[in-house]
Chains A and B, each alone.
Chain A
């Protein structure tokens, strides 16, 4: 079973998430898990597989969200695909520029630079109110119907939107699987284990790191873009450091460096938040305690621990 999942992760992913909306209390929660899972997946490519800790992933999530939001609400492009492309393009461009500068430093300096760039974008977003809506957030994002060759599907029910998001997220999961299985993916993990050794083997580590950074930003950007379509608004908090913090927590909770860990972490975090918040305002206390317990006692996270227990 375990080896089957390991060799067919995309099929396993599709099977679980095809029935997922019926396992949680309501459909919009399932969509939220899917989107934040993708966000964490992108973060995990950089942190779990390349060993680069970014504290500024809000930047790419936010760029994806604003790119799509501005295209649909302000530029009135009217096409779902163009809206998504705008978000992805902006996130990838942001990832390339920010990655180019941040990757010149390592460790804490790298982390702080990513944080600084994200906060910079936050202030730009705050003050460019004509385009971003400033602190009121960007509203008026209409969700165009899904136009495929020969057929147009409206996405205005929660379930329709969920399966649309699932199709895109599954594509992203397949793409990540392909990246990790390629020689490029092996170099990423070589860099994580020993960057000097990887470059001694003749790999251009800075170029590989930058590519990994851009891929990671693309995944995060797609997630942000889908979130803008899901909520029809882009809050300014999308770019704020708390968003970056949330994705770190989800990834560590699920298991950094494991393929499905980020989805498990996102699902655990969001379902707990959703259910606990109905009963108590102190839900962060519970989620925080669980997070700390995992970091202290089971640092491989929920999925990582499960994989280790099941054995090879």
Chain B
């Protein structure tokens, strides 16, 4: 290669690297799904688990010949857990990459910023993390779908079970921000309906996990159940302090959710005997054929079992594919109509369905309890599945309560 050819090739290479738009013409045959998620930042482990679940769905679909004869392609983007970045990346995915569908978002505030962009651009958006507002007016749009559970469903399901099985004298400890406050409100209402007694309720500033001032007060009140909303790193700090105060022996401790990456980080010494809800746990592979299929595919690709949030992403990608197949056209409006006209699906854990008014996915969830180290079979066996809570629209707010007439 002479100098001139070398320069020309390098320049062309650099141009291609700088502007993937040039490659667009070659990739015209694929169906593109944009997938923003916070791969950097405090929820990085959960976001990566979601990306891996989405990739498993993509490969499964493409191995079977794609959709309408076209390959599915997922474009992952880092939203840094910031709404402005999530919004900008969504614009980039839609305008620059010509994605017709967006799946993703891993925090209420970011997914709602993404949702504003998809609403404006007229693209289908399937949200895959918790939020009450996303399926309620005014945030909801006709192309907004919500695959994940939400704080209302989770806390009603977990709260009912706790009151009926562990005791009706509670104390609630929660991080003082949107998610913590929402769960606190729902749990308080559930306990009242169950005829229980709320001995006390303590907010603390998110990201400031210093509980030693509160714990003696809670111990003295002798609640049967201590329900906590301490997300992320706060959760681990809280459990360490609670254990050092000997609280596990004095009362049952519960929280709305367990997340597999977090169970892994904290380990069984912290999480043993802690109750929580979960949308999916890989141990369900023994009971549910679809779960067995998903867990096997995921293990094969990533050499570890899937986490609970990856399953949302896996299911949502399959829903995009199912919608396109039903609609026979790659178009957001047509796919949305097709999904609502054929609302029942089952990709990884049994029957689910879209509710017509708000496009909320209804699905089973499970009450689980942290396992002791001595009882674990393998390094990922963190929970005992205690009971299934069957999917029910009663657990969510009604269409009317969400502002749909």
**Measured CA separation A139–B117 after assembly (Å):** 11
Instruction: Classify the secondary structure of A's interface with B.
Output: helix
Q: How many A-B residue pairs have CB under 8 A?
A: 88
Quick one: given A235-B113, A281-B78, are A136 and B95 in contact (CB under 8 Å)? no
Pair B84/A231 contact, Cβ less than 8 Å: yes
Contact of A112 with B by CB under 8 A: no
Q: In the complex, which of the residues B20, B83, B112, B120 has the most CB atoms of chain A within 10 Å of its own CB atom?
A: B83
Residues of B contacting A139 in the complex (Cβ-Cβ under 8 angstroms): 112-113, 115-116, 133, 138-139
Q: Which of A20-28, A48-56, A84-92 contacts B (4 or more CB under 8 A)?
A: A20-28
Contact of B243 with A by CB under 8 A: no
Pair A28/B91 contact, Cβ less than 8 Å: yes
Contact of B18 with A by CB under 8 A: yes
Contact of B109 with A by CB under 8 A: yes
Residues of A contacting B33 in the complex (Cβ-Cβ under 8 angstroms): none
Contact of A238 with B by CB under 8 A: yes
Residues of A contacting B21 in the complex (Cβ-Cβ under 8 angstroms): 25-26
Contact of A140 with B by CB under 8 A: yes
Residues of B contacting A158 in the complex (Cβ-Cβ under 8 angstroms): 91, 95
Partner of B87, one of A136, A140, A231, A274: A231
Expressed in whole angstroms, the minimum distance between the Cβ of A249 and any Cβ of chain B is 16
A-contacting residues, B112-140, CB 8 Å: 112-113, 115-117, 119-120, 133, 138-139
Chain A interface residue count: which class? 20 to 34
Pair B112/A136 contact, Cβ less than 8 Å: yes
Contact of B96 with A by CB under 8 A: yes
**Measured CA separation A29–B90 after assembly (Å):** 11
Instruction: Number of B interface residues at 8 Å Cβ cutoff, please give it.
Output: 33
Partner of A26, one of B95, B117, B139, B178: B95
Pair A237/B84 contact, Cβ less than 8 Å: yes
**Measured CA separation A227–B87 after assembly (Å):** 11
Pair B178/A135 contact, Cβ less than 8 Å: yes
Quick one: given A135-B178, A231-B117, are A26 and B92 in contact (CB under 8 Å)? yes
Contact with B along A233-271 (1 / 0, CB 8 A): 101111000000000000000000000000000000000
**Measured CA separation A311–B17 after assembly (Å):** 34
Contact with A along B89-102 (1 / 0, CB 8 A): 10110011000000
Pair A237/B39 contact, Cβ less than 8 Å: no
Chain A: which residue is nearest B97 at the CB level? Answer: A26
Residues of B contacting A28 in the complex (Cβ-Cβ under 8 angstroms): 88, 91-92, 95
Chain A: which residue is nearest B206 at the CB level? Answer: A135
Contact of A212 with B by CB under 8 A: no
Contact with B along A173-187 (1 / 0, CB 8 A): 000000000000000
Contact of A275 with B by CB under 8 A: yes
Residues of B contacting A232 in the complex (Cβ-Cβ under 8 angstroms): 87, 116-117, 119-120
Residues of A contacting B39 in the complex (Cβ-Cβ under 8 angstroms): 281
Pair B177/A134 contact, Cβ less than 8 Å: yes
Pair A136/B18 contact, Cβ less than 8 Å: no
Residues of A contacting B116 in the complex (Cβ-Cβ under 8 angstroms): 139, 141, 231-233
Quick one: given A26-B91, A231-B117, are A136 and B77 in contact (CB under 8 Å)? no
Contact of A277 with B by CB under 8 A: yes
Residues of B contacting A140 in the complex (Cβ-Cβ under 8 angstroms): 138-139
**Measured CA separation A232–B83 after assembly (Å):** 11
Partner of B95, one of A27, A135, A137, A236: A27
Residues of A contacting B89 in the complex (Cβ-Cβ under 8 angstroms): 277
Residues of A contacting B178 in the complex (Cβ-Cβ under 8 angstroms): 129, 134-136
**Measured CA separation A135–B178 after assembly (Å):** 7
Contact of B108 with A by CB under 8 A: yes
Contact of A225 with B by CB under 8 A: no
Expressed in whole angstroms, the minimum distance between the Cβ of A154 and any Cβ of chain B is 12
Contact of A151 with B by CB under 8 A: no
Contact of B40 with A by CB under 8 A: yes
Which A residues are within 8 Å of any B CB, using their own CB? 25-29, 32, 129, 134-137, 139-141, 156, 158, 227, 231-233, 235-238, 274-275, 277-279, 281
Which B residues are within 8 Å of any A CB, using their own CB? 17-21, 39-40, 77-78, 82-84, 87-89, 91-92, 95-96, 108-109, 112-113, 115-117, 119-120, 133, 138-139, 177-178
Contact sample, A vs B, 27 pairs, CB 8 Å cutoff:
A25-B96, A26-B95, A27-B95, A28-B92, A29-B88, A29-B92, A32-B88, A129-B178, A136-B108, A136-B109, A136-B112, A139-B112, A158-B91, A158-B95, A227-B84, A231-B84, A231-B88, A231-B113, A232-B117, A232-B119, A237-B82, A237-B83, A238-B84, A278-B20, A278-B77, A281-B39, A281-B78
Known: A25-B19, A136-B133, A233-B113; 9 extra A-B contacts, CB below 8 A, are: A25-B20, A29-B88, A136-B112, A136-B178, A137-B109, A137-B113, A139-B112, A141-B116, A233-B87
